[in-house]
Amino acid sequence: MADSPPTKDDSQVEVDNAGQMAEFFKVLSDPGRVTLLLTLGRANQLCVSELAEASGMSESSVSHHLRLLRHLQLVRNQRVGRQVFYSMDDPHVNTMLRVCTEHVRGERS
């Protein structure tokens, strides 16, 4: 079943959200942030040191990226004792990353 064309109201909502959408793609324009999101998408939750090891980035760099991702509500954190664990905060991000991966690989639906 094909998607129905957007109604005038749907189109206006998209235009109204264009700035937020551009900001989302701007965040995804950094390979380090994409790497962190892909890593978190495969794991339930990880701490900064685990993310640094998995991504090959320094803990300082990971923390910097996580701060931005948390501010944009793409990841969330949970403190357990002295450790802070990070996980994905929005399942839509996994969907976007999966679609992007398929596109980059040249997969067509």
CATH fold label, 30-102: Arc Repressor Mutant, subunit A (1.10.10)
Question: Using an 8 Å Cβ cutoff, are 65 and 32 in contact?
Answer: yes
Residues in the chain: 109
Question: pLDDT by residue (tens digit) across 32-48?
Answer: 999 999 999 999 899 99
Look at residues 5, 72, 81 and name the one whose alpha carbon lies nearest to residue 36.
72
The rounded percent of the chain whose pLDDT value lies above 70 is: 87
Q: Summarize the confidence of residues 89-109 as an average pLDDT.
A: 87
The angle, 0 to 180 degrees and rounded to 10, between the axes of the packed helices 59-71 and 48-55 is 110
Q: Give the model's confidence band at 62: pLDDT under 50 very low, under 70 low, under 90 confident, else very high.
A: very high
Domain boundaries, the chain: 30-102
Q: Which two tokens stand for residue 30?
A: 């950094």
The whole model's pTM is what? 0.80
Question: Using an 8 Å Cβ cutoff, are 12 and 6 in contact?
Answer: no
Q: Give the model's confidence band at 24: pLDDT under 50 very low, under 70 low, under 90 confident, else very high.
A: confident
